[in-house]
Amino acid sequence: MDRRKSLKALALGTLGGVAILDGCKPGDAKKEAANKSVADGFTLDRQPEELERYEKVVAETFFTEPEMAVITILADIIIPKDEVSGSASEAKVPEFIEFIVKDMPEHQTPMRGGLRWLEIYTFKKFNKSFKDCSPEQRISIVDEIAYPKKAKKEVAQGVAFFNKMRDLTVTGFYTTQMGGEDLGYVGNRPNQWNGVPDDVLKQYNIAYTEKENKECVKYS
Amino acid sequence: MPDFEIKKQSKEYDVVIVGSGAGGGMAAYMLANQGLKVCLLEAGADYDPAKNVTQLKNPWDSPRRGASTHFRPFGDFDASYWGWDIDGEPYTKAEGTQWDWWRARMVGGRTNHWGRISLRFGPKDFKRRSIDGLGDDWPIGYEDVKPYYDRIDKLIGVFGTNEGLENDPDGFFLPPPKPRLHEMFIKNAASKAGVPVIPSRLSILTQKINDDRGQCFYCSQCNRGCTVYGDFSSSSVLVKPALKTGNVDMITGAMAREVLTNSEGLATGISYVNKFDLMEYEVKGRTVILAASACESSRLLLNSKSPRFPNGLANNSGVVGKYLHDSTGAAMGGVLPKLFGRKRYNEDGVGGMHVYSPWWGDNKKLDFPRGYHIEYWGGMGQPAYGFGMGMQGMNGQYPVNGVQKEAGGYGSSLKEDVRYFYGAGVGMAGRGEAIPLESNYCEIDPNVVDKYGIPVLRFNVKYTEHEIKQAKHMKETFKEIMHEMGAVITWGDDGAENNYGLESPGKIIHEAGTTRMGNDPKTSALNKHNQAHDCKNLFVVDGGAFVSQADKNITWTILALSMRASEYLMDEMKKRNI
C-alpha cells in the first residue's frame, strides 16, 4: 500500500484490518490466525504469547456477583453521570475492574478484602449489606472513608480500599471514549503542529523567539 | 531420521549478520546494496511498523488501557516484543551487583520503540582519557566518523538546529517543531538557571525526504512504531530496503548459538536454533558480522570456544564482556500550577521532546567527571492506565476553580478535579556518561543455560562515586529549573539515601563497551574498523565496539560506525584481504 494513501486512510480513521495485514508474508500466517481468533476484541498487534495470556485471563472470573454489584454501586458514586459525561457503569468501568484485577493480581487481595471490610463495617452499622442500604446510608459510609485526611483512624483500612477503588474507577473511566471526551483530549489523530495557538500564547503572556519562528517547521 | 541433527545450508553467503537492529540493519543495507549476498539472522519475530500496528490506537483498544505486561514492559502499545525478562531466556547477576537487560526480540530490535534521540558524539567524546585521565581514548576521532554522520543525517533524516556548539556538532538537519507550552516555560526557567535549552535532535521526518517514507503527522507515538515510516526504525528504514535488493535472506526466530570457525581460526558461519521449529541449523558465510547487542554479541563470542580460542572467539585479550556500561539516569517530576484548568488543544507533537539541554558544565569546576544532557516532558498526553490515580494527593492541596476542597472525595466534584489538573504535569530526566571500567562486566554463568541450552550471561556491574555525584548534580539542577518555573515537585526529590535516584545500570538501555575497539590487541577486542583483532573476517557493529559512550544516545554512532565498517569490509574484500 502506498504510504501516502495509508496516511490518508489514517486521517479518515479507516485503516482497518485489510490495510494492516496488507502484504503479509506466508510466514506470518500463524500470527494472522492468532490475531483473527480474537479479532472481535482486538485490533492491536499482538504476539502469540500475549494472546495466550489474554485468553487465559478472560476465561477466568474473579469477582462474585454480589462483589460486582457493590463495585458497580461504588464506581457510580465515584464517577456519576453529570452535565459533561456519563457514569462509570455506562462506560463499563466495572468490567474493566474485573479485567484489571485478573491482569494485575496484586490488586486482588486489597479489592476482595476491602469489599469484605466494607460489608462487615456496613453490617455492624446498619445490620444489612451495603447493596441493601439506602442511597443515604451508602453515602454516609462512603463519606467516612473517602477523605483520607479527615477520616477517623479506626477506618484507615476502609480509606485504603476506597483510595484503590477511586484509582481504578477514575483510570478506568478516563481511558474510555466517554472519559476522553469528558477530559477534552483532542490528540491521537494526524495533524500538523504549528506551535502553541496564539490565544494560548497571549493568555500566558509568552511568545516564540525570532530564532524559533525562523528555524522551526511551518505547515500551511 | 535421526533424533538429533544439524541442518547445514549448502549456500555460502558473502556475509552472515546476527541481529537486525541499528548496527545489523545498517550493515545489511550497505552490503546488500553493493550486491553482496547476505544472510540476516534475527532472534525475534518478523516486524514491520506498517503491518504490526499499535499506532493511533485508543486507550480502550487495550483491555488493560495501555498498562505494561512482562511482554511489553513499556506499555501495551509499545513496539517492543519482550523487554526486561523473556520467558525461557534468563540472565543472572553476581551477588551485590545490578544490571537490567532489555532485549527486544523482533526485526529492528530496540530501534522500533526507541526515543529517536539522534546525537552525534563530539570531538571530546572520543578522547576522554586525554581530558580527565579516566577510561581510554578511542582509536579514532570525530573527524573519522564525521563523514558517516553526515551521510546518515541525509539518508535517515533528523531534525534539529546548527548551534555551533563545540562538542555537540552541527549536522544536516530538517527543521525542528516549535516548542510546546510547557517547553517554553522550561526554556525560560532553565535559561535563568544557566542551563541552555535548544531544539531536540530526533530522527523524525518533519519534512518528506523520499517516496518510501511519509512525513510525521504528530501523534507523539514514535515508541509504537510508525505506519508511514515517518521516524527511524531499522525495520522500516534499513531492513525493508535491504530486503528489496533481493540480496538478503532474512531468517527470523534464529537464536545464534556459536560463531563457527575453521582450522585457520577464521569465522565460517553461525550455528543457530530456530525458535519456531526448535531445529538446529548452520549457515555459512565468508564473513560474519555480529550486531546482536553489546551483551548478546559478547555472549555469543564467549560461547564460541574452540581449542584455538579457549577463552571464546576474538577474546585473546580477555576484554570481551568487560567495560560494560550504560548511561546514567535520574529524573524528577511535578506539576505546574499555572497550567491548571488550561485550554484544550492538540499538543501531541512528535514522539518525544521538542527541546533538550546539551551538557553545559565545566567538569574542572565540578566534583565528578563527564556530563549529562536533560530530556523534558509534560502536557496534555493521551490518558492511559494510571491516569487520574492518586487524586487524593492533588485535590486537597490546590484550590480547584477557586474552591479549596477536602483531599479525596468522589462524584461530580471529583470529575471536575480530574479535568482541572489534566495537562499540568512536567518532568525531566538526565542521561549522563558513566566511566567504563574493566571491573564492570558480563561473563558466562557457569551453571545456567536458557531453554535452548545456550549458556547465559551473568552480570557484574556496580556504579561508583563518579556516577552518584553526577546524579546529585542532576537533582540539584532539576530542582533549580522546577523552582524557576514555579513548578511543584511531586516525585524524584531524592537524597544520599538512594544515591539521588540514580537508576540501576542497564535501566537506560544504552548497553555498550563489551567488545571495545582499540589499537592494542592486548587491551581491545576490535580494531578501529570494528574488525576482530584475532579473526579478520569477523566484525562487531553494535554498541559493544564503544570505548566510551558520551552523554549522547548511542544509536546514531552505532549507525555511523556500522556504515564505516561495512565500507571497510567491502574494500578489504575487493583487495582480497578477506
Q: What integer pLDDT is reported at residue A26 of this predicted model? A: 41
Residues 6+ apart with CB under 8 A from A116: none
Kindly state whether B347 is in contact with chain A, defined as any CB-CB distance less than 8 angstroms.
yes
Across the interface, whether the CB atoms of A175 and B412 are under 8 A apart is answered no
Of the partner residues B159, B199, B227, the one whose CB lies closest to the CB of residue A6 = B227
Of the partner residues A4, A44, A182, the one whose CB lies closest to the CB of residue B61 = A44
Kindly state whether B383 is in contact with chain A, defined as any CB-CB distance less than 8 angstroms.
yes
Kindly state whether B235 is in contact with chain A, defined as any CB-CB distance less than 8 angstroms.
no
- State mean pLDDT over B106-113: 98
Across the interface, whether the CB atoms of B87 and A49 are under 8 A apart is answered yes
Count other Cβ atoms within 10 Å, centred on residue A49: 16
**SS percent in chain A: helix, strand, coil, step 5:** 65, 0, 35
pLDDT at B350 exceeding the cut of 70: yes
pLDDT at B453 exceeding the cut of 80: yes
Confidence of residue A41 (pLDDT cuts 50, 70, 90): low
- Whether B62 contacts B53, CB under 8 Å: no
- For B178-232, the pLDDT digits (tens) are 999 999 999 999 999 999 999 999 999 999 999 999 999 999 999 999 999 999 9
Q: What integer pLDDT is reported at residue B313 of this predicted model? A: 98
Q: Compute φ and ψ for A115, nearest 5 degrees.
A: -65, -40
Q: How far apart are CA B509 and CA B504, in angstroms?
A: 11
Tell me which DSSP letter residue B215 carries.
P
Q: How far apart are CA B484 and CA B247, in angstroms?
A: 57
pLDDT at A17 exceeding the cut of 60: no
How close, in Å, is residue A67 to chain B by CA atoms?
Answer: 20
How close, in Å, is residue B532 to chain A by CA atoms?
Answer: 35
Of the partner residues A23, A193, A204, the one whose CB lies closest to the CB of residue B349 = A193
| Chain B stretch 396-455, residues whose beta carbon is closer than 8 A to a beta carbon of chain A | 396, 406-412, 414-415, 418-419, 422
Across the interface, whether the CB atoms of B214 and A85 are under 8 A apart is answered no
- State mean pLDDT over B245-272: 98
How close, in Å, is residue B461 to chain A by CA atoms?
Answer: 31
User: What radius of gyration, in Å, describes the C-alpha atoms of chain A?
Assistant: 24
How close, in Å, is residue B18 to chain A by CA atoms?
Answer: 20
Q: Calculate what percentage of chain A has a pLDDT beyond 70.
A: 81
How close, in Å, is residue B449 to chain A by CA atoms?
Answer: 21
| Chain B stretch 71-100, residues whose beta carbon is closer than 8 A to a beta carbon of chain A | 71-72, 76-77, 81, 87
Across the interface, whether the CB atoms of A50 and B390 are under 8 A apart is answered no
Of the partner residues B64, B67, B346, the one whose CB lies closest to the CB of residue A191 = B346
- For A110-168, the pLDDT digits (tens) are 999 999 999 999 999 999 999 999 999 999 999 999 999 999 999 999 999 999 999 99
Q: What integer pLDDT is reported at residue A21 of this predicted model? A: 32
Residues 6+ apart with CB under 8 A from B341: B401, B420
Q: Calculate what percentage of chain A has a pLDDT beyond 90.
A: 80
Q: What integer pLDDT is reported at residue A103 of this predicted model? A: 98
Residues 6+ apart with CB under 8 A from B248: B28, B32, B38, B39, B40, B242
Q: What integer pLDDT is reported at residue A12 of this predicted model? A: 36
pLDDT at A30 exceeding the cut of 80: no
Q: What integer pLDDT is reported at residue A77 of this predicted model? A: 98
- For B508-565, the pLDDT digits (tens) are 999 999 999 999 999 999 999 999 999 999 999 999 999 999 999 999 999 999 999 9
- State mean pLDDT over B488-493: 97
Instruction: Give the DSSP letter string of A9-61.
Output: HHHHT---HHHHHTT--GGGHHHHHHHHHTTTT--S---HHHHHHHHHHHH--
Kindly state whether B366 is in contact with chain A, defined as any CB-CB distance less than 8 angstroms.
no
Residue with cell 469489599: A115
Q: How far apart are CA B537 and CA B542, in angstroms?
A: 16
Of the partner residues B65, B214, B409, the one whose CB lies closest to the CB of residue A175 = B65
Q: For residues A59 and A11, which has the higher predicted lDDT (pLDDT)?
A: A59
Of the partner residues B51, B57, B409, the one whose CB lies closest to the CB of residue A44 = B57
Q: In this structure, what C-alpha cell is assigned to residue A105?
A: 493480581
Count other Cβ atoms within 10 Å, centred on residue B498: 10
How close, in Å, is residue B206 to chain A by CA atoms?
Answer: 7
- For A179-208, the pLDDT digits (tens) are 999 999 999 999 999 999 999 999 999 999
Residues 6+ apart with CB under 8 A from B104: B21, B44, B80, B81, B82, B83, B110, B112, B113
Mutate to test the interface with B, among A1, A2, A3, A164 (most CBs of B within 10 A): A3
Across the interface, whether the CB atoms of B389 and A188 are under 8 A apart is answered no
- State mean pLDDT over B448-454: 98
Listed residue (A147, A127, A134) closest to A73, CA to CA: A134
Residue of chain A whose Cα is closest to the Cα of B81: A47
Q: What is the ipTM of this complex?
A: 0.96
Confidence of residue A42 (pLDDT cuts 50, 70, 90): low
How close, in Å, is residue A191 to chain B by CA atoms?
Answer: 5
Confidence of residue B396 (pLDDT cuts 50, 70, 90): very high
Q: Calculate what percentage of chain B has a pLDDT beyond 90.
A: 98
Q: What integer pLDDT is reported at residue B4 of this predicted model? A: 82
pLDDT at A10 exceeding the cut of 70: no
Mutate to test the interface with B, among A44, A54, A103, A189 (most CBs of B within 10 A): A44
CA B336 vs CA A147, B321, B423, B426, B478: distances in Å = 24, 44, 9, 7, 14
pTM score, whole prediction: 0.94
Of the partner residues B185, B345, B383, the one whose CB lies closest to the CB of residue A197 = B345
- State mean pLDDT over B412-422: 98
Across the interface, whether the CB atoms of B252 and A27 are under 8 A apart is answered yes
- Within B269-411, where are the H helices? 294-303
How close, in Å, is residue B55 to chain A by CA atoms?
Answer: 9
Half-sphere exposure of B129 (CA within 13 A, CB side): 10
- Chain A residues within an 8 Å CB radius of B46: 25, 27-28
Confidence of residue B3 (pLDDT cuts 50, 70, 90): confident
Q: How far apart are CA A95 and CA A73, in angstroms?
A: 13
Average pLDDT, chain B: 97
Q: What integer pLDDT is reported at residue B10 of this predicted model? A: 86
Average pLDDT, chain A: 87
- Bridge partner residues of B512 (DSSP): B325
Across the interface, whether the CB atoms of B184 and A170 are under 8 A apart is answered no
How close, in Å, is residue B539 to chain A by CA atoms?
Answer: 30
Q: What integer pLDDT is reported at residue B259 of this predicted model? A: 98
pLDDT at A32 exceeding the cut of 50: no
pLDDT at B354 exceeding the cut of 80: yes
pLDDT at B79 exceeding the cut of 50: yes
pLDDT at B577 exceeding the cut of 80: yes
Mutate to test the interface with A, among B178, B204, B397, B406 (most CBs of A within 10 A): B178
Count other Cβ atoms within 10 Å, centred on residue B482: 26
Q: For residues A72 and A7, which has the higher predicted lDDT (pLDDT)?
A: A72
Q: If you count DSSP H runs as helices and E runs as strands, how many of each does chain B have, helices first? A: 10, 16
| Chain B stretch 168-187, residues whose beta carbon is closer than 8 A to a beta carbon of chain A | 174-181, 184-185
Listed residue (B281, B531, B551) closest to B435, CA to CA: B551
Across the interface, whether the CB atoms of A190 and B383 are under 8 A apart is answered no
- For B131-167, the pLDDT digits (tens) are 999 999 999 999 999 999 999 999 999 999 999 999 9
pLDDT at A34 exceeding the cut of 50: no
- Chain B residues within an 8 Å CB radius of A172: 65
A-to-B residue pairs, Cβ atoms closer than 8 angstroms: 255
**Alpha carbon A22 to chain centroid, angstroms:** 31
